[in-house]
Amino acid sequence: DAGVIQSPRHEVTEMGQEVTLRCKPISGHNSLFWYRQTMMRGLELLIYFNNNVPIDDSGMPEDRFSAKMPNASFSTLKIQPSEPRDSAVYFCASSLAGLAGGQETQYFGPGTRLLVL
Amino acid sequence: GQSLEQPSEVTAVEGAIVQINCTYQTSGFYGLSWYQQHDGGAPTFLSYNGLDGLEETGRFSSFLSRSDSYGYLLLQELQMKDSASYFCASLLNNRLAFGKGNQVVVIP
């Protein structure tokens, strides 16, 4: 398997622009996670899907952020409008079973490095 | 706020042993996982402890004491490729929380 695939790998945009990050989870995994990583705040869970349904979006910072998972093989994280403080590395991860029990290994994609000017 | 606490950085020589500690809040705790992240890379899973005791995976071992709300990752026979950040992560109150990470720098 190719692993979790994310695109783009790097994104530079100007404040106010819309940013769309994409993720393809590992085939057969039914849980998908979006994380944001910064030096100041570390690795933060933004939202978690199970069987394409958003289960926990309490980590989404504000209404400018939205995430969708239209099918089992694709998810998007959208920021509209983007702000400089959104600059971070955004990781997508997938797992077989999700958060229940906590022991399911999460497989991370390579990340999207976002810079908002 | 941050639910898992880790010290920030340690430097050690090749062949040495390093212990990375992690303390966590107790409410809703399900177990402790450890992830490794090389600079510029993605986190990768190392180990998981659901019960008290030691789990060994090659040169790496992980320990959990639920009564002390404490765990650690032990890196043995350090190699240059072990230079990375190490994160503990746990399911707390049904949300996965990562510690800030501990950067390990291995020197010759």
Interface with chain A: mutation pick from B33, B64, B96, B102, highest number of A CBs within 10 Å: B96
Assign B1 a pLDDT band (cuts: 50, 70, 90).
Answer: very low
Residues 36-95 of A with CB under 8 A from B: 42-45, 48, 56, 58-59, 91, 93
Of A59, A102, A108, the CB nearest to B30: A102
Which residue type, as a one-letter code, is found at position B6?
A: Q
Residue B108 in this model has a pLDDT that exceeds 60:
yes
Segment B6-31 shows an average pLDDT of 85
Closest by CA to A25, choosing from A42, A4, A43, is: A4
Residues of A in contact with B91 (CB under 8 A): 99, 101-102
What number is the average pLDDT over the span B73-83?
97
Which residues on chain A are in Cβ contact (under 8 Å) with B42?
Answer: 91, 108-111
Q: Which of A10-14, B28-32, B51-55 shows the highest mean pLDDT?
A: A10-14
| Between residues B48 and B74, the one the model is more confident about | B74
- What's residue A40's pLDDT? 86
Burial of A32 per CB tally in 10 Å (0-12, 13-18, 19+): buried
